[in-house]
Amino acid sequence: MIDAPPHAELSDQAAYAAAVQLAADAAAAYYGQGDSPLDDDAYDQLVRGIAAYEREHPEQVLPASPTGKVAGGAVVGDVPHTVPMLSLDNVFGPEDLADWAASLERRLGRTVTAWSVEPKLDGLAISARYRGGRLVQLVTRGDGSAGEDVSHAIGTVVGLPDRLADPVTVELRGEVMMTTEQFEQACAKRQAHDGSTFANPRSAAAGTLRAQDRPYVCELTFFGYGALPGPDDDSEPAARLRELPHSEIMTWVAGQGVQTTAATPVAGVVATSLEQVQERVEQIAAERAELPFGIDGIVIKCDLAADQEKAGFSSRAPRWAIAYKLPAVEKITKLLGVEWNTGRTGVIAPRAVLEPVTLDGSIVTYATLHNVADITRRGLMLGDSVVVYKAGDVIPRVESPVVHLRTGGEQPIAFPEVCPSCGDAIDKSQERWRCVRGRACRAIASISYAVGRDQLDIEGLADNRIQQLLDAGLITDFADLFTVTREQLLGLERMGETSTDKLLAAIERAKDRPLSRVFCALGVRGTGRSMSRRIARHFGAMQAIRDADAEALQVVDGIGPEKAPLVVAELAELGELIDKLIAAGVNMTEPGAVTAVAGAAEPASAELPLAGMSVVVTGAMSGPLEALSRNEVNELIERAGGKASSSVSAKTSLLVAGDKAGAKRTKAEGLGVRIVAPDEFAQMVGRFL
Ligand code: IVH
């Protein structure tokens, strides 16, 4: 799945010494303030380069070398650990994993028949000490033998209760991290406080765990991955805990009221063969982009206490466990430039131009920057080293600048003074800057979108034709198309009778499109094709949508308290256009919808063939589906009672996979999702075609 990664090439002793220094600094920052000058990949490559050099020149190994040390030798803290808190060795692909397992089994002299497979949570290791069932101390990993007391964080960590279910004395080990939601909240709090943000959830968690006198409190999350009875505890429960397989220890931990991965979509499982381990690795990797928290790999452990005991430990890591690393989704690269573009709704959006970087298997050169306020909040500058994030289907985004990597040569980012498309003024009253001409600025783009195949589907209206109509003053928006006369069209250059009549017929047909498509054609900000279908289906008629206030709109799946007022405002702005469409006789109802106004009974949706199913379509459609666009197939899915989705996850019920289906098919196979060919699917939904 992943090739063995490259490592830094160190040519001589000076390069080696510089690399050791850089690694030591990075480790100190990573385990200290959590603001490393290197991303994980770059650090791993550096350490592998150091290790390779040391194998060739064992006589030159420097005492500060990070190899063979926990936490790269970064020493923090003075609370001794009862049992060392070690690190994990890494593998990077199936072959690596098989090699590691083979050497472990040779050492054990037997085959391992129970492997525990869990996500590798991307946070900070912590030891939570419970006495008589009460949480008494929290200690960081530090250098592995002693850590820092961070007990002040007790009470702010979700999943780590003050009291266990039983009055036991036990040390729980696990990862403290921020979920995506907690990270966003923490960034908002920090922004409100001093205008800055955190680089990523991991460093936010590191900083938060240590912060003692912040005027604001950020929440953290704990996931347990191990339990140790007190070293001198010779009670019966303690003895039992020492004997239990890892998987059963975790069940016990969860039973004590502590959060474990069992509470997540990537729960720890026991695999009985290496094939099963690999299968679960792929399932977890497939889930990664959808998880509400970061993982950077999968941890594979011998489940049985006897195997663990016999395998033992090296100075750095247990021999009975390994981290299977996943490709990085976050890297540091250079911000080379910022481009400004006016979209079809008139919004002026910045786009980051980056030094190309490989993220989650693809090369990223552009990333979203949201808006001016966001750039200012993050304090970004041209030439900055920036943290860029991309996973799965998400659009790459710039997270933050790495301020301490600045060279002094960085330049401020210039904001546009006029609309980059038409040169008119900019309305700066909202966070998202907009051309004062609004939709009219890029009329061609909004009309082209409205007449597109998935909206009004008016054939014969290529961009040059739309431009011609605009230039001739025959239209200013797409509603005007419905009142253009035959004579007006014939008066245009390159418009003969045949093409005119064809176009007029196509425009006439467009009047009968269902509301979902008419609504979508409006290009309401914050809504796309599937959201338009949900809105149309819910309200049934344009009037009902226009009558809805922000609260009423929130009943629609995907419209929250932020989006709802935006949709209301957009509909007000589009009022004139909608009135023109109504006057022109364009259909304003959704066939088969449960009209909220009429209060009709819900259709017997349970009887529909795809009731309750989440369906994803990928690859080329064939047979009866061949002529349908992806949007039309999605419409079909929804007519048949299903929910159309674009990405495969554990929630997917069915994947329709045509020819040349790629990553989605692999992912679905990994997750055990039912896969059908287009022909079989056409049979399932036959009567809705
Ligand atoms: S078991 C003796 N399980 O990864 C070490 N570690 O790179 C046993 N980690 O220090 C660790 N998720 O902080 C284990 N499910 C998991 C984990 C996990 C994340 C962290 C942990 C460890 C680091 C090693």
Query: Could you tell me which residues are annotated as the binding site?
Result: 40-44, 87-88, 118, 141, 175, 301, 325, 419, 422, 441
Per DSSP, the three-state class of 332 is strand
Binding site for Zn(2+), by residue number, is 419, 422, 441
pLDDT at 2 over 80: no
More confidently predicted of 389 and 36: 389
- Kindly report, residue by residue over 427-468, the tens digit of the pLDDT: 999 889 999 999 999 999 999 999 999 999 999 999 999 999
- Average pLDDT of the residues in 131-148: 93
Mutation test of ligand 1: which of 76, 223, 299, 314 has the most ligand atoms closer than 8 Å to its C-beta? Answer: 299
pLDDT tens-digit readout, 367-397: 999 899 889 888 899 999 999 999 877 889 9
Confidence of residue 604 (pLDDT cuts 50, 70, 90): low
| pLDDT range class, residue 474, cuts 50, 70, 90 | very high
Task: Give the Cα separation of 682 and 689 in Å (integer).
Answer: 8
Query: Which residue has a Cα nearest atom 1 of ligand 1?
Result: 225
- Among 646, 541, 554, 645, which Cα is nearest to 596's? 541
Tell me how far apart the alpha carbons of residues 134 and 165 are, in angstroms, rounded to a whole number.
10
**From 195-204, 262-271, 582-591, 653-662, the region with the lowest mean pLDDT:** 195-204
pLDDT of 313 reads 94
| Active-site option among 69, 120, 331, 664 | 120
CA-based radius of gyration for the chain: 30
Tens of pLDDT along 399-426? 888 888 889 999 999 999 999 999 999 9
CB-based contacts of 288: which residues, under 8 Å, 6+ apart?
Answer: 295, 326, 329, 391, 392
Among the listed residues 617, 606, 595, the one whose alpha carbon sits nearest the alpha carbon of residue 535: 595
Q: How far is the CA of 354 from the centre of ligand 1 (A)?
A: 33
More confident residue, 465 or 603: 465
pLDDT of residue 370: 87
CA dist., res. 273 & res. 422, Å (int):
63
Average of per-residue pLDDT across 167-180: 95
Which mutation among 121, 139, 259, 314 tests ligand 1's pocket best, with the greatest number of atoms within 8 A of CB? Answer: 121
Residues ≥6 apart with Cβ < 8 Å to 50: 8, 10, 16, 19, 20, 23, 65, 66, 67
The binding-site residues of ligand 1, defined as CB within 6 angstroms of any ligand atom, are: 86-88, 118, 120-121, 125, 175, 225-226, 299, 318, 321, 323
Q: Which atom of ligand 1 is nearest to the CA of 90?
A: 7
The angle subtended at Cα 263 by Cα 260 and Cα 269, nearest 5°, is: 70
At residue 32, the pLDDT reads 62
Select from 31, 40, 88 the residue to mutate for testing ligand 1; criterion: most ligand atoms less than 8 Å from CB. Answer: 88
Measure 51 CA to ligand 1 centroid, in angstroms: 22
**Maximum Cα interatomic distance, the chain, rounded to a whole number of Å:** 98
- Residue with the smallest CA separation from ligand 1 atom 10 is 87
Ligand 1 centre distance from Cα of residue 318 (Å): 10
- What is the spatial distance between Cα 461 and Cα 500, in angstroms, rounded to a whole number? 11
Residue 602, pLDDT > 70, answer no
Is pLDDT at 58 greater than 90 in this prediction? no
Protein residue with least CA distance to atom 12, ligand 1: 120
What is the secondary structure of 94-125 as a DSSP string?
HHHHHHHHHHHHHHHTS----EEEEEEESSEE
- 651 among known catalytic residues: no
Residue 260 phi, psi dihedral angles, 5° rounding:
-130, 180
Residue nearest to atom 9 of ligand 1 (CA): 120
| Ligand 1 centre distance from Cα of residue 87 (Å) | 7
Q: Are strands 654-657 and 614-618 parallel, antiparallel or unpaired?
A: parallel
Instruction: Please state, in angstroms and rounded to a whole number, the distance separating the CA atoms of residues 357 and 200.
Output: 18
Tell me the β-bridge partners of 397: 368, 389
Residues in the annotated binding site for NAD(+): 40-44, 87-88, 118, 141, 175, 301, 325
**Looking at ligand 1, which atom is closest to the CA of residue 118?**
15
* C-alpha of residue 316 to centroid of ligand 1, in Å: 12
The least confident of 101-105, 361-365, 423-427, 509-513 is 361-365
Distance 602 CA to ligand 1 centre (A): 50
Q: What does the pLDDT read at residue 76?
A: 60
> What is the C-alpha to C-alpha distance for residues 142 and 70, in angstroms, rounded to an integer?
9
> Contacts by 22-29 with C-beta closer than 8 Å and gap 24+?
22/46, 23/47, 23/50, 23/65, 23/66, 23/72, 24/64, 24/66, 24/72, 24/73, 24/74, 26/72, 27/66, 27/71, 27/72, 27/73, 27/74, 28/72, 28/74
**Ligand 1, atom 17: closest residue by C-alpha:** 120
pLDDT tens digits for range 65-99: 888 776 666 656 789 998 999 999 999 999 999 99
The winner for highest mean pLDDT among 277-281, 398-402, 605-609 is 277-281
Q: What is the pLDDT of residue 649?
A: 86
Average pLDDT value for residue range 260-268: 92
Ligand 1 atom nearest to 141, measured from its CA: 10
pLDDT tens for each residue of 503-522: 999 999 999 999 999 999 99
SS (H, E, C) 399-425: EEECHHHCCCCCEECCCCCCCCCCCCC
Give the mean model confidence (pLDDT) for residues 343-366. 94
What is the overall mean pLDDT for the chain? Answer: 91
pLDDT band for position 597 (cuts 50, 70, 90): very low
Q: How far apart are CA 608 and CA 640, in angstroms?
A: 6
Termini Cα distance of the chain: 39
CB 435 within 8 A of CB 424: yes
588 neighbors 582 (Cβ within 8 angstroms): yes
Neighbours of 61 (CB within 10 A): 17
- Express as a percent the part of the chain with pLDDT over 70: 96
Give, using CA atoms, the residue closest to atom 13 of ligand 1: 125
Give the residue, 469 or 591, on which the prediction is more confident: 469
> Hey, what domains does the chain have and what are their CATH numbers?
13-73 (1.10.287), 79-325 (3.30.470.30), 330-412 (2.40.50.140), 442-510 (1.10.150.20), 515-583 (1.10.150.20), 614-688 (3.40.50.10190)
| Nearest Cα residue to atom 15 of ligand 1 | 120
**CA distance linking residue 405 with residue 574, whole number of Å:** 47
Are the beta carbons of 155 and 162 closer than 8 angstroms?
Answer: yes
Query: How confident is the model over 626-650, as a mean pLDDT?
Result: 89
- With cut-offs at 50, 70 and 90, classify the pLDDT of residue 3: very low
Token output for 403: 């301020």
Structure-token pair, residue 104: 């472990």
The ligand 1 atom at the shortest distance from the C-alpha of residue 124 is: 13
Structure tokens at 294: 């970061």
Q: Which two tokens stand for residue 507?
A: 């425009």
C-alpha to C-alpha distance for 159 and 177, rounded to whole angstroms: 11
Q: How far apart are CA 156 and CA 152, in angstroms?
A: 9
